[in-house]
Amino acid sequence: MLKFAIRNLLSRSVRSLLCLMGLTIAIAGMVGLFSIAGGLEETVSQTFGRIKGIVAMQPGAPIPLFSRIPRSWGEEISQISGIAIVNPEIWSRVNMIEDKPVISPPRFLFGTELSSRLQLKHGVYRDAIYAGRFLSLEDLGTLNTVVSRQIAEQHDKQVGDTISVNGQEMTIIGLYECGSLLLDVAIILDIDVVRDITRFDPNSVSCFYLEQSGAVDNDTLVKQIKDHFRGRELASWQPASLALANTSQSNILKDFVDAIDQSLKGISDQNSSPDITNVKAGQKPKNDPDKTLTESDQEESALEVRAAADWGERLETFTADLDIFLSLMTGIGVLIAMLSIINTMLMSVMERIVDFGILKANGWSNRDVMLLITAESSLLGVLGGILGGILGLVAISIVNWNFANQIHLYASPGLLLFGVLFSTLLGVLGGLYPAWWTTRMTPIDAIRRG
């Protein structure tokens, strides 16, 4: 049966090839599109797998770049049980490197307090140094910097060279490579130097990087920090675009920007704290009826504290939404490929009506005829899935090679296997209607039609 099916496909090679090409391109497109979400997940896994500590920053800020919190709070955090080291950080966007504007990929000035940074057991950037050295106390107040391999290669720099950043001539003393698009974007300096360059508020920092002592688990530690700062006055971060929505005529725009902001930053403490909105002290929140609220529970914390797992969960939510969009986009190509298979098999069946009539007259059952036709369409499906997966991998490799600093695509073995199975299923389904149409005819009707 299989040899018979192969001969039938080869006898109409041009039509079979066109159908195979359509299915191959559809599966390659599916692999390519879903590799976007796969690349995001792998990038986040590589990034937050390296980050052992937790980050305290302004409530509502999507990333530390947009956060501003009082510098003096670091001392208070250090007194909380379970905190080993508090490292203040300042993040600022780089606008010019070597007198050229920086647009994409983005680069950031990262100012860190060296005395506490050097005490960290797990220093993400320090552990990733592959040339030169990391910053030391000797670099306090200097323009000595550590940059990523991507930045150095982009501007043809090595250890010992100078690099102009936002008009400041800096000396490269070390190169690092974390292997993550989210981490390999920083130009690292002493925090006071970055403060001077960017004119950052002397009484503020972007965030605090906290290393745990191990005496308290992460969830308990996060709760302790939030409880300590509950009721403090610190405005939640708002996107600058909300400035456009100050008038009563701009309510629609304000609601739209609010919706975008919430989708980016997620719902803070959605799973860890009860809903206390409009609930008075002494009452029980709906989602935690076993807990009675106190006056302090009604007040929000002035700090948002996130562990690496929190960032990962938020991105998983984003990629789940992205998968829905990608599925809709892929569905168009898949539908076209399925119609192509149906058309190819139907035309093939119509051309072979006499052949099927003779086969049935010689003892072939309707089941045998259906098996033959579905075998042909299944072969197209299997080959289309395999070739589509190969073509998708080649395209992904080309994109990753040419745009290594901008994007990372990843097609998992599970995605490739799904592509082959899905393509095979399309082939089977595409051959069912022509096969069913053939079985409705008697041998004599088939011969007469011919």
Angle at 265 between CA 262 and CA 268, to 5 degrees: 90
pLDDT of the residue at 78: 93
What is the C-alpha separation between 316 and 304, in angstroms, rounded? 20
Instruction: Cite the DSSP H helix spans in 93-161.
Output: 114-117, 149-154
pTM of the model: 0.64
CB-based burial label for 423 (10 Å; 0-12, 13-18, 19+): buried
pLDDT of the residue at 86: 95
Q: Which two tokens stand for residue 202?
A: 């002397």
Strand 162-165 versus strand 108-112 pairing type? unpaired
pLDDT of the residue at 311: 61
DSSP labels, 136-152: -GGGTTS-EEEEEHHHH
DSSP labels, 239-274: -GGGGGG-SGGGHHHHHHHHHHHHHHH--TTTTTS-
Whether the Cβ atoms of residue 162 and residue 133 lie closer than 8 Å to each other: no
CA 296 from centre of chain: 37
Q: Which two tokens stand for residue 60?
A: 């509502």
Q: Which two tokens stand for residue 127?
A: 């552990």
Whether the Cβ atoms of residue 14 and residue 144 lie closer than 8 Å to each other: no
pLDDT of the residue at 372: 81
Q: In a structure prediction context, what are the per-residue pLDDT tens digits for the chain, which is 450 residues long?
A: 667 677 767 777 777 787 788 788 888 888 888 887 777 777 666 666 667 788 899 988 878 888 999 999 999 999 999 999 999 999 999 999 999 999 878 899 999 999 999 999 888 899 899 999 999 999 999 999 999 999 999 999 999 999 999 999 999 999 999 888 778 899 999 999 999 999 999 999 999 999 998 888 888 898 999 999 988 877 666 654 344 334 333 444 445 445 544 544 444 444 443 333 343 444 444 444 444 444 444 467 788 888 766 665 655 565 566 667 777 777 776 777 677 777 776 776 677 677 777 777 777 787 887 788 788 888 888 998 899 999 999 999 998 888 776 677 888 898 899 888 888 888 887 777 777 777 777 767 666 665
Of residues 354, 359, 349, the one with CA closest to residue 438: 349
Could you tell me the residue ranges of all domains in the chain?
2-47+311-449, 59-234
pLDDT of the residue at 210: 93
Strand 108-112 versus strand 186-190 pairing type? parallel
What is the C-alpha separation between 441 and 445, in angstroms, rounded? 6
pLDDT of the residue at 237: 63
What is the C-alpha separation between 182 and 108, in angstroms, rounded? 11
Of residues 118, 107, 90, the one with CA closest to residue 202: 90
pLDDT of the residue at 204: 94
Whether the Cβ atoms of residue 58 and residue 236 lie closer than 8 Å to each other: yes
Phi, psi of 189 (to 5 degrees): -140, 170
Strands (E), 71-220: 83-93, 96-97, 100-101, 108-112, 129-132, 144-148, 162-165, 168-176, 186-190, 204-205, 207-212
